Chain A
Amino acid sequence: MAVFRDVMPAFDLLQPDSVAEATRLLDQNGAGAWIMAGGLDSFDWLKDRIKKPQVLVDLSGIGELKGIRVSSDGVEIGAMTTLTEIADHPAIQKNYSVLSDAVSVVASPQIRNQGTLGGNVSQDTRCWYYRGGWPCYRAGGNICYADTPVGRNREHAIFGADRCVAVHPSDSAPALIALDAKFVIRSAKGERTVDAEDYFIGPDVDITRLNILGPGDLLTAIRIPAAWSGAKFYFEKIRDRNVWDFPLMNVASAMEVNGGSISRIRIAASAVAPRPMRLRNVEDAVTGKPANASTGEMAGNLAVQGAVPLQFNGYKIPLMRNLVKRAIAGAPEAA
């Protein structure tokens, strides 16, 4: 429990220079290995001595994992590409601006320079009981400290809780779900690709992880298909401090409007549930409807159906209703 903020626990530092070498090392060390990308989340855990891996596999020397490759099929972004590179990339700004918008409001410029896309989607939850080293469910204990009458749960989930009420904190995740991105995972057994929304898991399935990666798995790239290139995008993030902060909520959508009607749409929200949440009921309900205020109103109301607020996060319900409404109907112009 005691949190030491002095030196990190001892581990072997492994620095592979290829994906093949990295997967071999990960396979060899199994659950004892910790993958490090930009280190922003990793160092929190290590310096606080809450996670104590035997080996640290540092991905920073693997060139294959870096960079953005544009093709007629879409864009492939290496897992080690920094958030700044993505935010500044002209092809992404032009055709997939929902992603550049999302990553450009992540934390601060310094963090975006160092933080990677792979790390951003694979980062752990920010629940402070857990990060403070309290032995809650997610840390392997048998209680949730946040979901109690006096628990500090202002930032926590209104959907999808199952014993753990923590939320997924990523800004890039809902944008990637809206773009129907595919996550490429490599392990000693080979390569597999999963849909963005299936990369994330809730506590009902595994209370100790936020994603499907198991020991030996490495996220190598994220592929964005051309299918949504140039669509009408929306990304909005609400946070306590606009200088830099984790989202209290964000909503991302990709929409195609033909003759005033929504012909297809994908919409997702983060920081509302333990996994970034695709709003399928909203997508189904608004398809074929005009992209106007009344459809937005209906979509907002639909989005919050079934929400279960905790003691201190009831505000998330009107917040979500309004963000979803704005995603469909557009934000009113500032006076």
Chain B
Amino acid sequence: MRLIQWVTDPWGQHVPAHIAWGLIWVAVIFAMLFMILHALYVAFVSGPRAFAKNTAPMAESDIPEHVPRHSLAARLFHWIMAASMLTLLVTAFLPKMGVRFNWVLYHWIAGVVLTISILFHVIHSSFFLDFWSIWPDRIDLRDAISRSLRFFGKRAPAPRRFAKYPLENKFYHLVIVIAGLAVIGTGLFMMKRIETPIFSRNPYLFSDMTWGLMYVLHGLAGVGLIALVIVHIYMGVRPEKLPITKSMIFGWMSRDFYLEEHDPERWVLDKRNADKPASSRGKRGYAPSDAD
């Protein structure tokens, strides 16, 4: 299968035009396979999770029943981003599958909403939240190695419980950052190709080759996002992950879930704010450290 559709431009140059739309199905099949394999793995292979004992100084009674996790602003961002992302996926790919509607209009509007919401998120998480809480750290990597060794029956120390975000979430965030920035970066330039009230049209801004590569990068990141979003939704509705999903709706998770999955030393609750919604400025490692 060809990955890219090529055309010959008026100057006789062979240039890329779009991705091959068959890649949509590759992404869907990849996501399906991932879900099936993951579900089988959880059901039949992975045993109960073993963590090292918590050594947190915080007494259990200090931990509120509702542990604040996502501030209202962070939750609003997440759901606005999710709505625009789903709109972008639907408007981009349904027409390629033969469903006819005026997709470009809805697509670029959703693209602008996504861009603004991501811009807000970058500023919010850099200056008002714990920026580093979503990036993998040394303990995450060490624990991942321990977990792998133990899975294969090797001796290794029990991994610690997670900080605010499990390593899988951090990796997911990393990949979606790359794909998201790719569609936004290229999408903003592609708006110069079409008529919008935001930019004046200039289809000659780049050479045919540069434009072609831009369309291809936009498309590749776009189909990547099909798989990423399907997998994200699947994870969000898995029973063992529901408390995390609910925390993105209500802003908190239960004390039991917090103690079961998280290490109070790695995700330190700010005692002063523990009973308040997680909206105030957080120090590194403290509760109000939304980054997704």
Contacts and interface: CB of A to CB of B under 8 A. Distances in A.
B16 to A, nearest CB: 9
Nearest to B14: A1
Contacts of B9: 1, 134-135
A143 B195 contact: no
B102 A162 contact: yes
Nearest to A214: B98
A140 B5 contact: yes
A206 B100 contact: yes
Interface in A143-178: 143-145, 147-148, 161-163
A142 interface: yes
A142 to B, nearest CB: 5
A145 B18 contact: no
- Number of chain B interface residues as a range: 20 to 34
B104 interface: yes
A198 to B, nearest CB: 12
A204 B95 CA distance: 11
B203 A144 contact: yes
A217 B152 CA distance: 59
B146 to A, nearest CB: 49
B215 A205 contact: no
A201 B100 contact: yes
A143 B8 CA distance: 12
A241 B117 CA distance: 55
Interface in B142-170: none
Given A134-B10, A161-B195, A142 B102 contact: no
A259 interface: no
Contacts of B194: 162-163
Contacts of A144: 203
B72 to A, nearest CB: 37
A332 B184 CA distance: 57
Contacts of A141: 7, 17
A143 B203 contact: yes
Nearest to A204: B102
Nearest to A215: B98
B211 interface: yes
B203 A148 contact: yes
Given A144-B203, A161-B195, A135 B211 contact: no
26 contacts: A1-B8, A1-B9, A135-B7, A135-B17, A139-B7, A140-B7, A140-B17, A141-B7, A141-B17, A142-B17, A142-B211, A142-B212, A143-B211, A144-B203, A148-B204, A161-B195, A162-B102, A163-B194, A163-B195, A204-B102, A204-B105, A205-B100, A205-B102, A206-B95, A206-B100, A214-B98
Interface of A: 1, 134-135, 139-145, 147-148, 161-163, 201-202, 204-206, 214
